[in-house]
Amino acid sequence: MTAQIISGREIAEAIRAELAEEVRELKESHGMVPGLATVLVGEDPASQMYVGMKNKAGAKLGIHSRQISLPAGTTQDELMGVVAGLNAAPEIHGILVQLPLPEHIDEAAIIEAIDPMKDVDGFHPINVGRMSTDSGTFFASCTPAGIIEMLLRSGHDPAGKQVVVVGRSNIVGRPLASLLLRKGRGGNATVTVAHSRTRDLAAVTRSAEILVVAMGRPESITGDMVAPGAVVIDVGTNRVEDPESEKGYRVCGDVLFDEVVQVASAISPVPGGVGPMTITMLLSNTVKAARLALERGGGGDA
């Protein structure tokens, strides 16, 4: 058996086409252009690349992007002031402060300073709490929300399924478990969360009809750890040394793809799987934030 490939790139393109139509409708019918502000502190190359990708993707959809680049020596109070200004800006509907921040800045305090209704990363405690309790309006964390869309749009609804999530981070594992447990679209699953301290991890992963791996450990899930016919979503993105590559390294996931693809019924690749979905769901949250602002009587042309 060779697994179906769940292409995050293809699913992301389909969602972005839908978002572009929503953005066009907001502008034509309401004179509103969704606005996304990205805040970058310091000159970390990876962070600069990620922010650039987010802004470029937003611009393609017609979203107004504002990038604020600050020096690494920016103080906590200065960054708080920037966030406060963006909270008050009616043309900005989504705020993203790129993480990680320099060590002298309290990340939690910055996240909590963002207006929850502009927290398109889905990290504010109010959004996390509402997601966990399945109550009120909230923004879901982008990577977990992207995983849910990948499952649904590839024909693998988690409802009623035994889902095992390997990884318990606040960015992927925990919020994904909350989304899978919700009553409604993409939820109603029976969820087990496993992690580095789980005894007999292989026995747990083999119990999964849907297995989501977010361990941060290259190719840790092997073919014998997956039940025949399971659906596997690989969240990991790792660089490993490869002397045969021109770059000296290759990118791989947390799943040993060449083995698991022979056992699973469907699998997401790395790269080209979860990665493209994360930025797409950030854009989706931004459009959602604009619509919520419109309902509250706010927003306007960028």
Catalytic status, residue 161: no
Distance CA 195, CA 165 (A): 8
Q: In what helix (H) or strand (E) does residue 36 lie, and over which residues does it extend?
A: strand 35-41
The residues that bridge with 67 in the sheet, in sequence order, are 38
The token duo for 290 is 């604009």
Distance CA 112, CA 50 (A): 22
Distance CA 40, CA 236 (A): 24
The token duo for 207 is 């119990």
Of the residues 115, 119, 121, 254, only one is catalytic, namely 121
Catalytic status, residue 98: yes
Q: In what helix (H) or strand (E) does residue 163 lie, and over which residues does it extend?
A: strand 162-166
Catalytic status, residue 76: no
Strands 35-41 and 64-70: parallel
Radius of gyration of the chain (CA): 20
Instruction: Report CA torsion sign: 220, 231, 155, 192.
Output: negative
| Catalytic residue set | 54, 98, 121
